[in-house]
Amino acid sequence: MATDYYGVLGLQPGASDADIKRAYRKMARDLHPDVNPDEGAKEQFQQVSRAYEALTDPEKRRIIDLGGDPYETGRGGAGSPFGAGAGFGGLGDIMDAFFGGAGGARGPRSRTREGEDALIRVDLDLDETVFGTTTEITVDTAVLCDVCTGAGTAPGTHPTTCSTCNGRGEVQSVQRSFLGQVIASRPCPTCQATGQVIPNPCPQCAGDGRVRSRRTIPVKIPAGVEDGMRIRLAGYGEVGPGGGPAGDLYVEVHERPHDVFTRDGEDLHCRVTLPMTAAALGTTLKLETLEGHEDLTIKPGTQSGNVLTLRAHGAPRLRGTGRGNLLVHLDVTTPTRLDDRQSELLRELAALRGEDLTEGTGANTGGLFSRVRDAFNGR
């Protein structure tokens, strides 16, 4: 037997929407579990909430007025008090009861929707990422139709209410089975759930409200940006269907490899090769940096693997102040091919420094290997 939903709220069939809202608000205040802890009040509140949800839904109320019960089967299960919008009442119902909210059906979907974001890659040289630059990029995105300005209609025409769903955006069907009544709801196939149709679409965008267009956009690259970082250009993405707000455009930075320098965050690195004589005697080199020539002082006795630091010659910090450093890694090379005269000079140098180059064994105590042996023997 169908539930008397009007009677649950103390009303007569045919009561107005205002009477239904007023009756529900009064009963919900008294029976809500947060106000009335009685177990019986909890069950009554569920019944009242379900009755209100049924009578404020036009399709469900139509079924009730025809003598049916929209909660028999289908939506929310067979007689389930915890169906869609039942139980303790949907959030819209509770807000309606205590604050006078709207509540009711979902309504049609808007034709206007937000556009998608777009992503484009830009390749930059090291000096452009370190010091910043302004570059132009070409993007192919959806833009607002300049004929209908997003409305999707031909000039002088307007959308009309969908005759299939009468503007609700969805169509419902009620079927009887051995389980009872089954209510099915689906988006309207005629208007795509918008509740409106466009009988005379715009000739340029065919009713979409947007068209594809290629445009050139200047992009400011901040100093210190790193490889893989993305720059967000708000509102430069795809315009949404129906002329909806555009998404964002993300520009992803890709840094080209440099012939001399490598980068590690804010610091730059490079390698300088020194001949053995320059490392031993010391010298001054002219180093070509991203900002021009810098004099690099090599102290006498410099060893391979030493690192010289040129402070504040790296990339600017994106967050904060100051710059990173330029780190110069020194590689000392040993000559591999010597003529007789060069070999003779090196031997003389070794003799002057007291460096015996012979391996020496037995009584020879001046050789390098003999000195190592003597160290182990405690001599």
The predicted pLDDT at position 295 comes to 93
Residue 288: what pLDDT?
93
Residue appearing with tokens 């001054």 = 284
How far from the centroid of its chain's Cα atoms is residue 2's Cα? 51
Show the tokens assigned to 183: 């209510």
SS3 category, 166: coil
Domains of the chain from N-terminus onward: 5-99 (1.10.287.110), 106-144+207-256 (2.60.260.20), 262-333 (2.60.260.20), 340-377 (no CATH)
DSSP designation for 163: T
Q: What is the pLDDT of residue 125?
A: 97
Question: One digit per residue, pLDDT tens: the chain, 379 residues?
Answer: 568 888 889 988 888 888 888 888 888 777 766 667 777 777 888 888 888 888 888 888 888 877 778 776 443 333 333 333 333 334 444 444 444 333 344 668 888 889 999 999 999 999 999 999 999 999 999 999 999 999 999 999 999 999 999 999 998 877 666 666 677 788 999 998 999 999 999 999 999 999 999 999 999 999 999 999 999 999 999 999 998 999 999 999 999 999 999 999 999 999 999 999 999 999 999 999 999 999 999 999 999 999 999 999 999 998 878 999 999 999 999 998 899 999 999 999 989 988 877 654 444 444 444 443 444 444 4
User: Side chain identity at 213, as an amino acid letter?
Assistant: S
SS3 192: coil
3-state class (DSSP) for residue 370: helix
The answer to whether 270 is a known ligand-binding residue is no
Output the pLDDT for position 297: 95
Chain centroid to Cα 211, Å, comes to 25
Q: What are phi and psi of 230, to 5 degrees?
A: -120, 135
Neighbours of 47 (CB within 10 A): 17
Contact 258, 125 (CB under 8 A): yes
Q: Can you read off the two tokens belonging to residue 151? A: 């409305």
Separation between Cα atoms, residue 50 and residue 371, nearest integer Å: 101
Query: What distance in Å separates the CA atoms of residue 356 and residue 350, rounded to the nearest whole number?
Result: 7
Cα–Cα dist 114/245, whole Å: 5
Taking CA atoms, 241 is separated from 105, 110, 148, 192, 250, in Å, by 24, 10, 13, 13, 20
* Two structure tokens written together for 94: 């509770």
